[in-house]
Amino acid sequence: MTLDTRNASMPMFLRRTLVPVSVAGLAGVLLTFVLGFEEPNTALAVLSAAMVLAAPIAVLLHLALTASLSPAEKRVWWNDFASAEIWSAMSEYLSSGDLIAAAQRRALDAEERRVVRKT
């Protein structure tokens, strides 16, 4: 497979599943706080927290295990996940149809930010 024909993206079924799972988890966390203010249901709280964290965990696992991104492209994503750009990066990682092009654009954006900070 050449660099030009690679198509890197999260599987569509995973992207379609993560949003409802995360929303349901957030609703569960809110229900735990609202209805369980005296004695919170520990099982509901743990399950809800796990569901809320499903999307970030899936993104990190996909990035770690995918073979469709080069080490340099993975490094761009890891750097963005470890910076203040984490929410923007995670959103783009989940919604992008071409993670390679997105990584190249994000690398250029990071370089522009570095130049602006130095001046």
Whether 3 is in a domain gets the answer no
Q: Look up residue 21 and give its amino acid.
A: V
Share of the chain above pLDDT 90, in %: 59
> pTM of the entire structure?
0.79
For residue 91, the enclosing domain spans 55-119
Task: Report the number of distinct structural domains present in the chain.
Answer: 2
- Do 119 and 70 sit in the same domain of this protein? yes
- Do 48 and 59 sit in the same domain of this protein? no
Q: Taking 90 as the threshold, does the pLDDT of residue 101 lie above it?
A: yes
- Do 76 and 91 sit in the same domain of this protein? yes
Q: Taking 70 as the threshold, does the pLDDT of residue 117 lie above it?
A: yes
Instruction: Judge contact between 99 and 67, C-beta under 8 A.
Output: no
> What own/partner pairs with CB < 8 Å and gap ≥ 24 does 72-77 have?
73/8, 73/99, 73/100, 73/103, 73/104, 76/103, 76/104, 76/106, 76/107, 76/110, 77/103, 77/106
* Residue-level pLDDT at 19: 87
Q: Look up residue 36 and give its amino acid.
A: G
- Do 62 and 116 sit in the same domain of this protein? yes
Whether 107 is in a domain gets the answer yes
Q: Which residues contact residue 38 at a Cβ distance below 8 angstroms, ignoring those fewer than 6 apart? A: none
